[in-house]
Amino acid sequence: MEFYPVCLDIFGERCVVVGGGEVAERKALGLLECGAKVVLVARDLTPALLAMKDARKIAQVSDDYKEEYLEGAFLVIGATDREDVNEKVSQDARDRGILVNIVDVPARCNFIVPSVFRRGDLLVAVSTGGKSPALARRLREEIEERYGPEYGTLLEIMGVLRGRVIARGAPSAENRVLFEAVLDSDILRHIREGNGERVREIIRDLTGEDIEVGF
């Protein structure tokens, strides 16, 4: 099976996690990071999930799973240790046209969750199509070591620069030459060293724009 890679905007969306153990905890945290309204369907929760509930970061339906708890859900994640429950979650979600992920069972999913790391707004995801989460994690860790926090800073700078350059109204081909010139420079080294003035000089020299870099 080939999965189509996509990034979802789930801010403010109702996302249901069926299960209350450590796996459900990890999934809930990932959803919260993206601004989702997270609902846990489980009678028992881990201490961390209980703390999140007490802080009103998540909601709990303290009951066994029932299809009615999917009402209004944008997506659902099945994270129980019961195969029959996970299978029912998958089928119920598919019948309702809801995105569903059953942890470690790609055949019951219509989306899977890659291994990811972030550098600010930079998101890098590694997927093995569900065949080996361990390999995906290993590759992600290797990539994470290579691409440090300076890439997140560079992305912020490039975002501001892109807005200014595009506003000048030049053809996209000319703009692309400017962006690539900045990326081909030694700007990353100076970001890494905290040399903000040199970063500004590089951008001014290559694009004519003067940008505050914040360090």
Residue 35 is assigned to a structural domain of this protein: yes
What pLDDT shows up at residue 213? Answer: 87
Domain of residue 156, residue span: 150-207
Helix and strand element counts for the chain (H, E): 8, 7
End residue of a domain, out of 66, 92, 113: 113
**Domain with 66 in it: what CATH number?**
3.40.50.720
**Residue 110 — pLDDT band, cuts 50, 70, 90?**
very high
- Asked whether residue 159 falls in the same domain as residue 106, the answer is no
- Return d(Cα 57, Cα 28) in angstroms, integer: 10
Percent of the chain with pLDDT over 70: 100
- Asked whether residue 23 falls in the same domain as residue 100, the answer is yes
Tell me, what amino acid is at 22?
E
What pLDDT shows up at residue 160? Answer: 96
What pLDDT shows up at residue 27? Answer: 97
- Asked whether residue 80 falls in the same domain as residue 168, the answer is no
Range 68-84 average pLDDT: 97
CA-to-CA dists, residue 196 to 34, 189, 193, angstroms: 30, 11, 9
215, pLDDT greater than 80: no
130, pLDDT greater than 90: no
Residues paired with residue 39 on neighbouring β-strands, in sequence order: 16, 59
169, pLDDT greater than 90: yes
Mean pLDDT over each residue of the chain, to the nearest integer:
95
Q: In this predicted model, what pLDDT tens digit does every residue of 29-71 receive, in sequence order?
A: 999 999 999 999 999 999 999 999 999 999 999 999 999 999 9
**Strand order from edge to edge, sheet including 75-78:** 58-61, 37-41, 14-18, 75-78, 99-102
10, pLDDT greater than 80: yes
Which structure tokens are listed for 168? Answer: 């000048």
